[in-house]
Amino acid sequence: MKPRIPLRKRLLVRLLFASALIAVCSVAATTWLAVETTTRALREEQGQDLADDMKILAELSGYAATHPDWKGVQSLVDRLATRTGRRIALTTTDRVPVADSARKGTALPLGAAATVDPLHTDTYTQSGAQLRGVDPRAVGPYRLTARERAELDALTRKLRLCFTRYGVDTKLVHIPSGRAVLLDPEGKDASQTLPEECGYGLNTPVRTERRALDALNTAALACLRDHGWEKGSRLYLFINPTGRDPLSRYVIGKYAKAGDAPEAKTVQSCTDNALRAQLDPYVAPVADLYLGGDETTPPRFDMSPANKAKIVGVVGLVLAVTVAVTAAVATRLVRPLRALTAAAQQPPELHVRVPVTTRDETGILAEAFNDLTERRERLEEQRKAMVSDIAHELRSPLTNIRGWLEVTRDGVVDPDPALLGSLHEESLVLQRIIDDLQDLAAADAGTLRLHREPVRAEDLLDQVVAAHRVAAVAADVEVSTDVDGDPWLDADPVRMRQALGNLVSNALRHTPAGGTVTVAARRDGDDVVFTVTDTGSGIAAEDLPHVFERFWRAEKSRSRRTGGSGLGLPIVRHLVAAHGGTVTAQSEPGRGAAFALRLPGSETPGR
């Protein structure tokens, strides 16, 4: 019976819980962000309201600076109220209505928001600020005639071309009086750095300005005489079109004694008062500005029950959609996992595979499972074949020994030396098979012990050839050695003789009479390479990848005449691997085979 997975541990439930938790966190984060954004928006709207209030004040101040009274301001008030959504009301200083965007009879707010006075408040020079001084738009008698404006424009364009020839970039602008001004890239009056070749006269007062300056000079001197001024009959006033002093934007007083701060302050005060008195007939009277909200404007943010219900509904919808999508995706993910689980729970001998329906991680897992199943099936077949091969290898000598012993016991044959020699040969075959199996088992278990010592390659080859010289003579095969230099290696000499002996024995078995077997050694970089080459029948290309498999033999009849037990080459591979080396095989059918052993070399002892 399959174990039942607890509900809380099921993948589908975990995915649903994770998605719901993510959705809740997302909704909470979104709500927090919405609240923060709304709060910030409200603050920005408040700032925008302040900016709108300053724009309203600036436009009304501009109207007052360019009109001698408030007649006709109602249309401007209505336009500003429509654009900003604010109630705008203008009254005299004693609260007599001048203009109002609200319905007649609507009460005024408790206090005035600002005072519109272009002779004392400058809202033009710096946007969004109220500076102390005369509004530059209040030009009064300083406004140039059309002819004077055209003449100054023509002169300014000529000077600009002259500046351009000297590589100076300038900009032509007009101040409220209509006078043209050249500004450098920093916004300063470029005429202050005018080259001599370009001429003079840009800031020289024209007739209109001269007349206004003379009147200003007379009024300022009258004020100064009231303060005890006795230093001449002129202040040397001139036009200052780009001055940054908000009190004297148009004029600067020149007096005899420089550096006298009290005297300079008196001159400046008299000049400013005279300027305000000069401009007063040209500007509208002082008025109070009242600002308020439009009663028809709906509230911008309202957390009413209806809005709260909408938020709850949206949250529920998000959760529902999240859970539905997660359930669909989770089901799609769980289905192949269930198929894998069902296939893994089948009996091993069935080697069940699962269909690969996707190319995602689950599909890759299914492919890996199928590959594992295929490898397990192949290993099972190899295990069965190995058991069969071991049984076959052991059965033949045991059958021979048993048969001869039985006939000897029955008195059919006598136990002569020849019979005893044959039985001894069969027992040696059994012993070799058992020893080979033990070596393979030790290699598989990692318990194959090596007793390393410095080994001279030439001595190793001589010992191997000497051990197989009798077999070579009997097979009429010549065995020779070929050593390049004097290579040494750090290895177990017994195991190395066993590995090379297996290769030489295998080569003698497959080399016909009159052939040759060559055992060579050479150094290749830091490695020592041993090669065993024969002139035998060779190995077919399709059989070459299997030569190091256990009990594999190209001749499937497993005849003793053409092959051994099939364990020699696998033992060679394990022995070489235990020494940290590799073994490869190359062959061409009909032209022999060559086996190469590559092992780490060592320095010559005593060097």
Domain regions of the chain by residue span? 1-111+290-345, 140-282, 348-443, 449-602
Q: Coil, helix or strand for 175? A: coil
Query: What pLDDT does residue 27 have?
Result: 74
Run means of pLDDT, 10 residues per run, the chain, 607 residues:
60 71 75 69 61 86 91 91 88 90 86 89 83 86 91 86 81 85 78 66 80 87 81 68 49 52 80 88 92 56 64 76 76 75 77 75 77 80 66 70 80 79 73 69 68 90 88 89 91 86 87 91 92 87 72 52 62 84 87 90 77
Tell me the pTM.
0.45
Query: What pLDDT does residue 48 have?
Result: 62
Identify whether the C-beta of residue 119 lies closer than 8 Å to the C-beta of residue 134: yes
Same CATH fold, 449-602 and 348-443? no
Query: What pLDDT does residue 22 have?
Result: 77
Query: What pLDDT does residue 304 have?
Result: 60
Q: Which DSSP state fits 346?
A: S
DSSP of 480-535: EEEE-S--EEEE-HHHHHHHHHHHHHHHHHTS-TT-EEEEEEEEETTEEEEEEEE-
Q: Coil, helix or strand for 98? A: strand
Query: What pLDDT does residue 117 have?
Result: 92
Buried b (16+ CB within 10 A) or exposed e, 50-78: eebbbbbbbbbbbbbbbeeebeebeebbe
CATH of domain 348-443: 1.10.287
Q: Which of 498, 504, 495, 496 is nearest to 471 (CA)?
A: 504
Query: What pLDDT does residue 247 have?
Result: 41
Query: What pLDDT does residue 254 have?
Result: 53
Q: Which of 41, 58, 35, 220 is nearest to 129 (CA)?
A: 58
Query: What pLDDT does residue 489 have?
Result: 92
Joined together, the tokens standing for residue 553 give: 């033999």
Q: Which amino acid is at 419?
A: L
Q: Which CATH architecture has domain 449-602?
A: 2-Layer Sandwich (3.30)
Taken as a whole, the chain contains a residue count of 607
Identify whether the C-beta of residue 554 lies closer than 8 Å to the C-beta of residue 540: yes
Q: Computed from CA positions of residues 85, 91, 93, 95, in that sequence, does the dihedral angle turn out positive or negative?
A: negative
